[in-house]
């Protein structure tokens, strides 16, 4: 037993291992999933003198005179820090820094495998200290910062406070998820021959992901010429529909913003009430919240993205039984897997290639369109590329780099 979670026993020889048991065996065998390797040989005294002392002193002197040369002479240009405090790890919750290591290490592995980026996990043990200051203090080594599995509402303030450090910083649970959802919606609308602006969308979950999805779909901070705003969005949390009359949200800034940026008719009620007549459901909340009857109350042939993991808000077969036309989950054993790996490697690859100082909303929207356009002929069972298609990363990287370059040529950051 660890933190309330039962660790599966090592399988017997007579039975094939489960996925969880296989994961335990893999991690034990390799003692983790990443390692640090040198790029240059150290075979003799000369090699040592050039790679380390005394030769390296000249490199240090040059960088001391011009810190920007760190991009030329060190690992900084191609290195991302994956940072967490362990407060919102996967579906496990606040399991702490040690338990977060294998998850952050896995993220680092995906950066390397999909985008050729060297990434390293940094898991802070304390949530009481100034995480912003700690990240700023280690930032000189890295070309980008990927914030990960940090609970709301702290994640919003932390990300905002790090936007002025001269390298791209993105909380993937917010923006990577929002980018993938936008891409999936673009292609779902292509299949249904609908305009996204006309959709009535219900989002279940008002944490990091739900807030970012709502704001990106509303084009908050981005002009209508860059993205198509969805007018009718309702966001629900544990207490039901978020509306301007709820006194409990007055002390919760991100929910207060949601109340004023969405739900223009100021509807009240439960998630079930919100879904009546809706065209699309986006779930980033908890398992089993939606029933087939609730799907039947939606508009004809609705879109259902039930992304709670590992058990979604409603299983795809149940959603389809309720009349859903297009269904996506976060799981790999169903069609239309909505997974951040389609976004974050390419977003950071493009940002690093362009020497971007931050990741703007224009770059996120460019990434979403690149992912959507990668699927030339979407169908109801195929609205997103395969999560293991490395070509997606390249397409996203090009689009993101171009978006930064356009914004850097005179436009303000957005």
Q: Cα–Cα distance between 27 and 106 in angstroms, integer? A: 11
Distance CA(159)–CA(336), nearest Å, equals: 29
Beta carbons of 145 and 119 less than 8 angstroms apart: no
Do residues 171 and 155 make contact, with C-beta atoms less than 8 angstroms apart?
yes
Q: According to CATH, where is 3.40.50.10380 located in the chain?
A: 71-167
| CA trace torsion 88, 90, 95, 99 (10° rounding) | -130
Within 13 Å of residue 172, how many CA atoms lie on the same side as its CB?
A: 28
pLDDT tens digits for range 171-202: 999 999 999 999 999 999 999 999 999 999 99
107 is catalytic: yes
Q: Are 262 and 231 in contact (CB under 8 A)?
A: no
Convert the pLDDT of each residue in 218-244 to its tens digit: 987 676 667 888 999 999 999 999 999
Mean pLDDT of 309-325: 95
| Residue 71 half-sphere exposure toward CB, CA atoms < 13 A | 13
Identified catalytic residue from 107, 200, 362, 380: 107
Fold of 174-414: Rossmann fold (3.40.50)
pLDDT band at 14 (very low <50, low <70, confident <90, very high): low
What pLDDT does 3 receive? 44
Q: Binning pLDDT at 50, 70 and 90, where does residue 20 land?
A: confident
Any residues with CB less than 8 A from the CB of 246 and at least 6 apart, and which?
A: 239, 259
Q: Of the candidates 163, 200, 118, which has an alpha carbon nearest to the alpha carbon of residue 363?
A: 163
Check pLDDT > 90 for residue 2: no
pLDDT at 255: 96
Q: Which of 20, 33, 52, 71 is catalytic?
A: 52
Please give the average per-residue pLDDT across 352-360, as a whole number.
96
91 confidence band (pLDDT: 50, 70, 90):
confident
3-state secondary structure of 186: helix
Is residue 369 predicted with pLDDT exceeding 50? Answer: yes
The DSSP string of 26-78 is HHHHHTSS-----SS---SHHHHHHHSTTTHHHHHHHHHH-GGGHHHHSGGGG
- How high is the pLDDT of residue 1? 37
State pTM to two decimals.
0.91
In CATH terms, 71-167 corresponds, of 3.10.180.10, 3.40.390.10, 3.20.20.10, 3.40.50.10380, to: 3.40.50.10380
Q: Between 407 and 382, whose confidence is greater?
A: 382
Q: Any catalytic annotation for residue 20?
A: no
Q: What is the pLDDT of residues 126-176, one digit of tens each?
A: 776 789 999 999 999 999 999 999 999 999 999 999 999 999 999 999 999
Average pLDDT over the chain reads: 92
Residue 412 has pLDDT above 70, yes or no: no
Does residue 392 contact residue 374 with C-beta atoms inside 8 Å? yes
Say if residues 82 and 120 touch (Cβ distance below 8 Å).
yes
The candidate with the shortest Cα–Cα distance to 181, out of 347, 345, 306, 312, is 306
The tokens describing 18, both together, are: 């489960």
Q: Determine the Cα–Cα distance for residues 306 and 316; give it in Å rounded to an integer.
A: 8
Nearest 5°: phi and psi at 93?
90, -145
Dihedral of the CA atoms 256, 182, 298, 261 (nearest 10)? 20
CA 65 to chain centre: 37
Pairing of strands 200-204, 169-171: unpaired
- pLDDT at position 224 is 63
Predicted pLDDT at 181: 97
Kindly state the average pLDDT of the residues 55-77: 97
User: 172-192 and 154-161 are packed helices; what angle lies between their axes, rounded to 10 degrees?
Assistant: 100
pLDDT tens digits, residue range 32-61? 999 999 999 999 999 999 999 999 999 999
Alpha-carbon span 197 to 217, nearest angstrom = 9
């Amino acid at each position: 037993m660890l933190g309330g979670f039962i660790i599966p026993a090592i399988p017997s020889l007579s039975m094939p291992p489960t996925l969880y048991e296989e994961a335990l065996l893999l991690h034990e065998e390799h003692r983790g999933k990443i390692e640090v390797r040198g790029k240059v040989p150290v075979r003799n005294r000369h090699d040592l003198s050039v790679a380390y002392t005394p030769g390296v002193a000249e490199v240090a002197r040059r960088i001391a005179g011009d810190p920007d040369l760190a991009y030329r002479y060190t690992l900084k240009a191609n290195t991302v820090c994956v940072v967490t405090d362990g407060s919102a790890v996967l579906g496990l919750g606040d399991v702490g820094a040690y338990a977060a290591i294998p998850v952050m290490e896995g993220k680092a592995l995906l950066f390397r495998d999909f985008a050729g980026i060297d990434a390293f996990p940094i898991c802070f043990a304390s949530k009481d200290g100034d995480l912003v200051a700690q990240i700023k203090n280690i930032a000189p080594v890295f070309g980008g910062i990927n914030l990960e599995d940090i609970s709301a509402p702290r994640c919003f303030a932390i990300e905002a406070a790090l936007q002025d450090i001269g390298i791209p910083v993105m909380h993937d649970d917010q923006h990577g998820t929002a980018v993938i959802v936008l891409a999936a919606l673009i292609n779902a609308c292509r299949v249904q021959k609908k305009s996204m602006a006309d959709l009535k969308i219900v989002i279940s979950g008002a944490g990091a992901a739900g807030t970012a999805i709502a704001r990106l779909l509303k084009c908050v901070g981005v002009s209508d010429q860059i993205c198509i705003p969805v007018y009718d969005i309702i966001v629900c949390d544990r207490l039901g529909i978020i509306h301007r009359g709820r006194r409990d949200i007055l002390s919760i800034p991100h929910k207060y913003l949601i109340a004023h940026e969405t739900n223009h008719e100021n509807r009240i009620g439960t998630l079930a009430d919100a879904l009546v007549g809706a065209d699309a459901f986006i779930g980033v909340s908890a398992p089993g919240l939606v029933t087939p009857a609730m799907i039947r109350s939606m508009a004809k042939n609705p879109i259902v993205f039930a992304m709670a993991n590992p058990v979604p808000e409603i299983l795809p077969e149940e959603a389809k039984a309720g009349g859903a036309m297009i269904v996506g989950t976060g799981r790999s054993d169903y069609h239309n897997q909505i997974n951040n790996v389609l976004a974050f490697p390419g977003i950071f690859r493009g940002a690093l290639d362009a020497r971007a100082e931050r990741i703007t909303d224009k770059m996120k929207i460019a990434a979403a369109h690149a992912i959507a356009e990668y699927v030339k002929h979407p169908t109801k069972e195929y609205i997103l590329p395969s999560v293991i298609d490395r070509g997606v990363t390249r397409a996203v990287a090009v689009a993101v780099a171009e978006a930064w370059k356009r914004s850097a040529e005179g436009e303000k950051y957005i």
